[in-house]
A and B are shown apart, each in its own frame.
Chain A
Amino acid sequence: MRSPPPRIPPSLEAQNRRLGLLFVLPAVALVFAVIIYPVFFNLYLSLWKPALNPAKPDLFVGFGNYARLLADPQFYRSLALTAVYVALTVAGSTLLGGSAALLMNRDFRGRKFARSALLLSYVMPVISSVFVWIYLFNPLYGMVDYALVDLLGLFEVAPQWFDDPVLSLLLVCLFDIWRIFPFALIMILSSLQSIDGAVYEAALIDGARPFRIFRCITLPEILPVVASVVTLRSIWNFYKFEDVYLLTKQVPILGVYLYRTAFTVNDLGLASAISVVMFALVMGIVFVAAARRKGASS
């Protein structure tokens, strides 16, 4: 009787390779479907004037959307607003979070409670936080306006936080600093805690003053984390939408401008051109910064 041809067992390596492919397939397929394809579709759409009625064909306009964008004064206004917004919120939240981290990096009673309490604004859904801020800053009976006008006498009349362009810019910045400073706090606190305590003791024995210890030991240790907090936060806040849109109509940062162009004005072609330009700006700034850092270090 002839035995069947011996089946060579697939090598472990080949088996692993097959399993690996099987495992990454869903993830790769999903990423392709929800990110990569839409990215290219967006580029494509930015060259067209998409018809509102799906039964009608789209109209090819070439770089017409980009030309219209660059001629739109609202675009430059949004760009400037976004730059101010990013600068103020990133600086404010990093400084506040960093200071809180330095204060928390000690032993004291209720430390755990304080840490959890400080995370609350970061965890709370934005819609809930927006509602209570609208209440707090209400010009008629809001507690903030009451404190500023009646208790402190800083204002003659209640400031119009939601209608005045400058005050509402200040308001959305304050709101965002309050909401996101816990991110900087957590990141900087955990990098502070990874510093070896023996280094501090040695410095104290050598008679170093607190400020010198901070400048020569603490600061260099946390600087890389601070840099990545600032980088990530700048990018995320550049794309900010909900926190501003839900609070006031007076601060059309780029995210709001994009959203309104797409869904209020229904100009989908211009909207996709805006998002292409936004992404290009971020990529450009990040790569220039990375190249400069490389140049500086070599």
Chain B
Amino acid sequence: MKRKAARKLALDALVALIVLVAVSPFVVMLGTALKTPAESVAYPPKIMPARPTLMHFADVLDPAKFPFARYFANSFIVAFSTALIAVVVGSVGAYAFAKLPVPGKRFLESGTFVVYMFSGILLVVPLFRIIAALGLYGSRVAVVIACLVSTLPAALSMLGNYFRTIPDSLEEAAFMDGLSRLQSLWRIILPLSLPAIMSVFVYVFMIAWNDFLFASIFLSDPAKMTLPIGLRQFFSSQDYVWGRMMAASLLTGLPVVIMFAAVEKYITGGLTSGGVKN
């Protein structure tokens, strides 16, 4: 049994090592956010400061010094709108494709396969021209539209997969009780699918929140910039202020990390639901 215990210890140590290496950049991020400017460029470097300071967090949150709040609000507007549109349009559409006799069902199912071979970067040129022709260049609406390119098909296919796991008999029972299609959708399917819908919302929100590509193409006015493009612009235009950069990076990640943690078990389950559920 001694050998077994030693083996377990070795494997546990390996897990600890992988976790340590994977997380270490974020430890450094936090440590640097708490360093004074002098300490952040000291040699040899230290991971954690001797005397932590919150000055960088105060600077980042001070609108007079740093437009973080404005970028944050813009990111939120873009990510929330994209997620809302993808979830509402996606739920309704996916329900119809899963449960109603709709022409072109087959076509759609083979279409989702092609979608996996696709990416937003392929459409930057036509989207750029279309957005310009519509007079939307420079607006946050443009970024929302572009973010839907990759997220809407994913929302449709993820929600469709989920709706198909809900047995038809459940709704048939509801119809027997005199509920209409709409009532059953509203009172039975949607409440039952809330975890899936929330997960898709978070998934789309994260993609839009992280988007740099389209924001960099469409937004040039600092008043409308989202976090990724705004932070990059801000930090490349002057000398690196590491503490401030790291504080801003942490705060940029915070909302998506919290949202992800809230739906983690659904998302990590849903990614692989095809194999796990019958």
Are A132 and B249 interface neighbours, CB within 8 A?
yes
Nearest-CB distance from A101 to chain B (Å)?
11
Are B15 and A104 interface neighbours, CB within 8 A?
yes
Nearest-CB distance from A60 to chain B (Å)?
16
Number of interface residues of A (CB under 8 A): 85
Nearest-CB distance from B96 to chain A (Å)?
4
Do A120 and B22 contact each other (CB < 8 Å), given the known contacts A23-B100, A28-B93? yes
Contact with A along B178-221 (1 / 0, CB 8 A): 00011000000000000000000000001001101100110000
Cβ of A211 within 8 Å of any chain B Cβ, yes or no, is: no
B88-145 CB contacts (< 8 Å) to partner A: 89-90, 92-97, 100-103, 116-119, 121-130, 132-133, 145
The answer for the CA separation of A17 and B101 in the assembled complex, in Å, is 6
A178-225 CB contacts (< 8 Å) to partner B: 178, 181, 186-187, 190-191, 194, 225
Among A96, A125, A146, A186, contact of B268 (Cβ-Cβ < 8 Å): A186
Cβ of B167 within 8 Å of any chain A Cβ, yes or no, is: no
Do A140 and B41 contact each other (CB < 8 Å), given the known contacts A23-B93, A26-B93, A283-B117? yes
The answer for the CA separation of A255 and B16 in the assembled complex, in Å, is 35
Nearest-CB distance from B187 to chain A (Å)?
16
Do A41 and B130 contact each other (CB < 8 Å), given the known contacts A21-B102, A127-B212, A127-B231? yes
Do A131 and B125 contact each other (CB < 8 Å), given the known contacts A120-B26, A136-B25? no
Chain B residues within an 8 Å CB radius of A129: 25, 249
Chain A at the B interface: mostly helix, strand, loop or mixed?
Answer: helix
Chain B at the A interface: mostly helix, strand, loop or mixed?
Answer: helix
Are B118 and A279 interface neighbours, CB within 8 A?
yes
Chain B residues within an 8 Å CB radius of A275: 121-125
Are B121 and A30 interface neighbours, CB within 8 A?
no
Among A41, A194, A282, contact of B275 (Cβ-Cβ < 8 Å): A194
Cβ of B176 within 8 Å of any chain A Cβ, yes or no, is: no
Cβ of B152 within 8 Å of any chain A Cβ, yes or no, is: yes
Among B232, B252, B260, contact of A246 (Cβ-Cβ < 8 Å): B232
Are B128 and A262 interface neighbours, CB within 8 A?
yes
The answer for the CA separation of A240 and B132 in the assembled complex, in Å, is 25
The stretch from A72-80, A83-91, A110-118, A160-168 touching chain B is A110-118
Among A117, A136, A181, A262, contact of B124 (Cβ-Cβ < 8 Å): A262
Among B22, B32, B257, B272, contact of A178 (Cβ-Cβ < 8 Å): B22
Do A24 and B271 contact each other (CB < 8 Å), given the known contacts A39-B123, A239-B121? no
Cβ of A156 within 8 Å of any chain B Cβ, yes or no, is: no
Interface residues of A (CB under 8 A from B): 13, 15-17, 19-21, 23-24, 26-28, 30-31, 34-35, 37-39, 41-42, 45, 50, 54, 96, 99-100, 103-104, 106, 108, 114, 116-121, 123-129, 131-133, 135-136, 140-143, 146, 150, 178, 181, 186-187, 190-191, 194, 225, 232, 235-236, 239, 241-242, 246, 255, 258-259, 262-263, 268, 271-272, 275, 278-279, 282-283, 286
Extra contacts besides A129-B25, A241-B213, A278-B122 (6): CB < 8 Å: A13-B101, A28-B93, A119-B264, A132-B26, A132-B249, A263-B216
14 contacts between A and B (CB under 8 A): A20-B100, A39-B126, A104-B15, A108-B11, A117-B23, A120-B26, A120-B257, A123-B253, A126-B210, A128-B252, A131-B249, A141-B42, A246-B232, A263-B124
